[in-house]
A and B are shown apart, each in its own frame.
Chain A
Amino acid sequence: MERNWDDIEVHSSTVLTVGFIVNPIAGMGGRVGLKGTDDVVNRARALGAVASAHLKARETLHALKTLLKSSSGAVAIRWVTCSPPMGEDVLREEGFEDILVVYRPTEDTTRTDTSNAARAFMAHSVDLILFCGGDGTARDICMIVGKTIPVLGIPSGVKMYSGVFGVSPVSVAEIVTAFAQGSISTAEVEILDLDEELYRRNEWEVRLYQTAVTPFEPTLVQSAKMLITETGDDDARADIASYLADIIAAKPETLFLLGPGSTVKAVADAIGLEKALLGIDAWLAGKVAGSDLNENDILTLLKHHPRCKLVLSPIGAQGFILGRGNLQLSPQIVRIIGRENIFILATPAKLARTSILRVDTGDRTLDAEIVGDGHLPVIVGDRRRRMVRLVA
């Protein structure tokens, strides 16, 4: 058998411009039990916290360097970054050279530096923002760039509820390479964060702040017996939305409460409801019955319309269907509606990341009732459901 790999054609080079940002203090609070690092970095240092974000960033860059080398120049990265300690230093340590510094942070870096850097990256039209940090960093970046630029996180924060993080520093390197090669597309994910000030007072509130886009391997679907095709998250979401729209149209006497998140928003779009991404809205008989509702609004609506269906999708990377990002749905409300009247929607791409769904209403008895026998049918497409494990 002949093996002639010396005369193989090399593809023309693809250059990806990547905005790279390291939040040097990310993760420090966690090490000393501070449940976050925002605004308390000095206290964390006093308690003995040391910076670890650089190490995580280097791990990713090291793996990335190897992958780029094995592509024989087919893929190259042009770096747009911040001066030390927010990026340039780590890139140089790992031997990268094509680096443009577009932002110089203050000596003690703060959240403003992250936002400013993101703004500078936008001005330089980067293809991707790669950051090293946690939910706070993700939020600061996505607040600026929204869904205009894909964002990918090297996990190194105290909290990582958002959907932009790779599972490990090495996996992030693989995602960047695949993205540069054009072999993966993007998916919409939620940016969540815990209110750290409340959390440090032992109060829990994970909020959904917005959605962002992140590089994501397209979902493989079978379009024939064994012909596997790739489908984008948007297509899957559109299928789910049109299926739900049919169900909603068939039940004009039922009140539909639509929860937060982009999958549910797609349903709202399909029925013609102008819906806030983060809020809960109500729909009855083809009309809006309430927008951006709080707990009392919902209770009042339920008094008048006991026949109700709740439409939710798992929020964030951990797959919470209740208790994160939708705290308006108090235990009392969930009890009135009942488990059997909850529709859970999730695209296959989302379920690929969160194979287990979670519930945390703050009421353990209710959580146990919702969990039931531990599995829940989730709507994943047009007339298509999947049994997914549910835990409290």
Chain B
Amino acid sequence: MMDSEATVYELSVPGRPGVSLPLLDVPETSFPDVPLREELRLPELSELDVTRHYQRLSQRNFGVDSGFYPLGSCTMKYNPKINEAIAQMAGFAQTHPLQSEDSVQGNLELICRLQDWLAEIGGFDRVSLQPAAGANGELAALLMMRAYHKDHGEKGRTQVLIPDSAHGTNPASTSMAGFDVLEIPSDERGNLNIDALRSACDDTVVGIMLTNPNTLGLFEEQVREITDIVHSCGALVYGDGANMNALTGIVQPRDLGIDLMHFNLHKTFSTPHGGGGPGSGPLGAAGPLCDYLPGPIVERRNRDGGGYCYDIVIPDRSIGRTCTYFGNFAVLVRTYAYIRMLGAEGLKQNALHAVLNANYLRVRLQEAYKVPFDRLCMHEFVCEGVATGTGVRAIDISKRLIDYGFHPPTNYFPLIVREALMIEPTETESKPTLDAYIEAMLMIADEVRKAPDVLKSAPHTAPVGRLDEVKAARDLKLCDPTIFT
């Protein structure tokens, strides 16, 4: 185990300067007392101390740029550096959101084109780039459904149908939108239970939130029947586009009967994850729902007498903004670069390779790990990380993977699989990388029988050992009270 890295406060040496400030060359003046602090304890370090400290910390990070990161449901694909180069171009990076329309026509053109491309990919009539993340897109979609039903005089619709395999954001967004959750179970093939769905559908249903492929990584085999049943009771179908990486260029969700869907640009379209984002969850709509999309959106208009320009418009019955200005514009620029670089055929090839990679891992790992819903998977699959009689659990296998140099898969999700390990390789990984991962997983399976304690106390090579992640999430402390007293 590596030594722990001291904080900058612990490294601080009184009187050690980091910078030499020039002598004061303006007249000294008095400053009001109120905002003045008695003391501001800042660490005192040399530039070299600071550089080495942060360099060491950065080397402890693990990212897609440093290793294989098969975190299921997160689509941790490589983020091409060209995206960054384009986003840093002065024309994009140095514009201000409050500039006049005529001075940012280039940016508006990018927004307009991206709206059109995403609409084409999803088969939708109109797309809004407003939502700042996937869950923001979900909430916007639910608010659109509410407004739509209200306009049609249907105020008794209060229940949102959510499969038991859904992402936790679906019920959370439902509650935020003021609706009740009605969970629909999965069947033995990992599909939505059609009988339960039929039984649940009546005039109290707002709509369904459907993820396809679902979080088991399986294509809903009766998806058309599902959307027909929901529509037949007057409810709407919302598609959670989190798993769009399996379908891009192959299936247009609108063809499956989906009325509204968000895209996760940070998953499918290679914009950065983590570090607090920013994410982006553009929302596509079909037919009459287009009028309810959050605004503003950008439209191209032909000028009288020739030429064209881009206008900022608000859809007629828009639910309003979900984000300031134009959403997370810099993320949109990266997405634009990615789509432009790949083209339609490239996007389709990516989806095919994502599915191929996942199935390769599924089949190879099956000799050691049970895959409860065993059929052709899409971009990811879920296996059980448990060995009866050994006391080894999924979390132990995941932690041990860190010792082998791999990021763990997603654990304990979806909840319907016992001790779930959800593995999503993405299309950007090569066969040798996948083979090395398979080898590690098989070695761990061997350790489960021969040395289960090694797994239970893993990781052994990380800077810190087993952490209480739930406590860390629930009891977040960003500030050391011994320093800031």
> Hey, which bits of chain A sit against chain B, CB under 8 A?
1-5, 8-11, 63, 66-67, 70-72, 74, 170, 174, 177-178, 181, 220-230, 372-375, 377, 380, 383-389
Contact = CB atoms under 8 A, between A and B. Distances in A.
Given A5-B453, A10-B453, A174-B389, A226 B182 contact: no
Interface stretch (B54-62, B76-84, B350-358, B404-412): B404-412
B181 A387 contact: no
A5 B454 contact: yes
Main secondary structure of the interface of A (DSSP, over half): mixed
A5 B447 CA distance: 9
A230 B470 contact: yes
A64 to B, nearest CB: 10
20 contacts: A5-B447, A10-B453, A66-B389, A67-B389, A67-B390, A70-B390, A70-B391, A70-B453, A72-B453, A177-B391, A222-B171, A223-B168, A223-B474, A224-B169, A226-B168, A227-B470, A228-B412, A373-B195, A380-B183, A387-B199
Given A228-B413, A385-B180, A387-B184, 14 more contacts: A8-B454, A11-B457, A72-B453, A178-B391, A220-B412, A222-B415, A224-B169, A227-B469, A228-B415, A377-B200, A383-B175, A384-B180, A387-B193, A388-B185
A373 B167 contact: no
Nearest to A355: B185
B164 interface: yes
B235 to A, nearest CB: 15
A107 B168 CA distance: 57
Given A384-B181, A386-B164, A387-B200, A5 B451 contact: yes
Contacts of A66: 389
Interface size class of B (residues with CB under 8 A): 35 or more
A386 B161 CA distance: 9
Leading 10 A-B pairs by shortest Cβ distance: A222-B168, A5-B454, A375-B199, A386-B183, A387-B196, A5-B451, A228-B412, A383-B180, A384-B181, A373-B199
A174 B452 contact: no
Contacts of A220: 412, 415
Contact of B182 (A9, A181, A228, A387): A387
Nearest to A71: B391
A227 to B, nearest CB: 6
B460 A4 contact: yes
A4 B460 CA distance: 9
Contact of A1 (B185, B197, B440): B440
A375 B269 CA distance: 40
Nearest to B451: A5
A377 B172 CA distance: 19
A373 B473 CA distance: 42
Contacts of A11: 457
Contacts of A228: 411-413, 415
Interface of B: 73-74, 135, 159, 164, 167-169, 171-172, 175, 180-185, 193, 195-200, 388-391, 403-405, 410-413, 415, 440, 443, 447, 451-454, 457, 460-461, 469-470, 473-474
Nearest to A227: B473
Nearest to A381: B181
A226 B413 contact: yes
A388 B404 CA distance: 42
B168 A225 contact: yes
Contacts of A383: 175, 180-181
A384 B460 CA distance: 41
A1 B181 contact: no
B168 A224 contact: yes
Contacts of B412: 220, 228
Contacts of B181: 383-385
A375 B453 contact: no
B199 A374 contact: yes
Contact of B196 (A1, A4, A178, A389): A389
A250 to B, nearest CB: 13
Contacts of B390: 67, 70
B130 to A, nearest CB: 20
Contacts of A1: 403-405, 440, 443
Contacts of B180: 383-385
Contact of B198 (A178, A223, A373): A373
B452 A70 contact: yes
A386 to B, nearest CB: 4
Contacts of B452: 70
Contact of A9 (B184, B440, B457, B470): B457
A10 B474 CA distance: 28
Instruction: Identify which of B197, B403, B453 gathers the most chain A CB atoms within 10 Å of its CB.
Output: B453
Nearest to A67: B391
B411 A377 contact: no
Contacts of B171: 222, 384
Nearest to B179: A383
A230 B470 CA distance: 9
Contact of A170 (B388, B391, B443): B388
A375 B167 contact: no
Contacts of B388: 170, 174
Nearest to B411: A228
A100 to B, nearest CB: 26
A178 B389 CA distance: 11
A291 B10 CA distance: 66
A221 to B, nearest CB: 8
Contacts of B454: 3, 5, 8
Contacts of A375: 195-196, 199-200
